[in-house]
Amino acid sequence: MSTMWHGCLADTDYFEMRSSGGHDYGVWVTTPPGYDPAVAQAPAVYVLDGNWAVGLTAPLIVTQQEPMQKIKPYLQVSVGYAGEEAEHWARLRNRDLVPPGEPVAQEFLDAVEMGVETGAMTRAQADAYVDELRDTRGDAFLSFLTSELHPRIERDYGAATSGHGLFGYSYGGLFSLYAWLTGTTLFESVGAGSPGVASEGSRIFEQLEELGDQPARLHLTFNDREILGNIPVYQNLTKNAATVLHRLTSRGAAVTSEVLRETHVTGLQASFLSYLRTCRAL
């Protein structure tokens, strides 16, 4: 990483990795201040949407030195896209972060059309964006994280053998819920910010019906501006996220939650900080 980027993202390495499925990923690894795995190994926290999220979340690694509320040491592993694909991260995430067979809500399609009408995206960009939702492979991406990327993080950065976490926001939050509900054993805590459960027919509700004992801790956040605003897709995902939360708490699941004073776009950093304070506090 260049000297300039080291100045912005202290203690951060970058590498690229091709998955067994043939997809290229960019990975930023941010280590705790003064990290020495020979002295004490830290668990990894995987943060999704790295191309967007790394600049908002990696600097919060300094919370591990916060005198008023210390956070347990962790390695942050931000996962995004590499090379020419990096500029297309917003649509490629649809393929990787959405569970297989997830229905596409009409409100979501309407929001994409609104983007075309307002000039936020071209027709070609909108079509490519929706096309990625026709064969979603959240299962393959979860396998990449747990079976391919994590062993490398253990080997190269001396990650601890337990205590790992996962954080995702929006569709990343949907993926976090999906990973938690599958019972993946790698993560001991999972943060799901404004999870993109945009449809009442979401696969998430099917998984809830099959839920058994789940030892991992789940922290769910959403934003008051989403539910109080006038954008249907955000209203729906917030209502559905609240339904997920109510069903989990009624079963006594290990879940915590917080409502944040943010919009959908501005809520990522606040959601990550809420996850750290709730699930990773000393």
Q: How many CA atoms lie within 13 A of 19 on its CB side?
A: 23
Give the pLDDT confidence score for residue 33 in this predicted structure: 85
pLDDT of residue 208: 92
Please give the pLDDT value at position 168.
Answer: 98
* Residue-range definition of the domain harbouring residue 265: 3-279
Tell me how far apart the alpha carbons of residues 193 and 279 are, in angstroms, rounded to a whole number. 13
Token code pair at residue 153: 């993080």
Here the tokens at position 157 are 């950065």
Are the C-beta atoms of residues 187 and 164 closer than 8 Å to each other?
yes
Question: What pLDDT is stored for residue 5 in this prediction?
Answer: 60
- Which whole number is the average pLDDT over 210-222? 89
Which tokens go with 55? 């600049």
What is the reported pLDDT for 106?
82
Closest CA to 264 of 218, 239, 227, 212: 227
Residue type, position 151, single letter: P
As for how many domains the chain has, the answer is: 1
- Rounded CA-CA distance 78/44 in Å is 10
Residue 223 sits in a domain of what CATH number? 3.40.50.1820
Q: What is the pLDDT of residue 215?
A: 79
- Give the mean pLDDT of 145-171: 97
pLDDT grade for 1, boundaries at 50, 70 and 90? low
Give the chain's mean pLDDT. 92
- Residue 116 three-state SS: helix
Residue 20 has pLDDT above 60, yes or no: yes
Mean pLDDT on 250-262 = 94
pLDDT surpassing 70 at residue 6:
no
Q: Per residue in 51-94, pLDDT tens?
A: 999 999 999 999 988 889 889 999 999 999 998 889 999 999 99
**Residue 245 and residue 259: Cα distance in Å, rounded?**
12
Among the listed residues 263, 264, 245, 265, the one whose alpha carbon sits nearest the alpha carbon of residue 255: 245
Strand (E) or helix (H) holding 51: helix 50-57
Q: Is the pLDDT of residue 2 over 80?
A: no
User: DSSP alpha helices (H): ranges in 118-160?
Assistant: 123-131, 138-143, 150-157
pLDDT band at 109 (very low <50, low <70, confident <90, very high): confident
Mean pLDDT on 225-242: 93
Among left, alpha and beta (phi > 0; psi -120 to 50; other), residue 214 is: beta
- Look at 34-48, 112-126, 149-163 and tell me which has the smallest mean pLDDT: 112-126
pLDDT grade for 212, boundaries at 50, 70 and 90: confident
128-153: average pLDDT: 93
Backbone angles phi, psi at 10, to 5 degrees: -60, 145
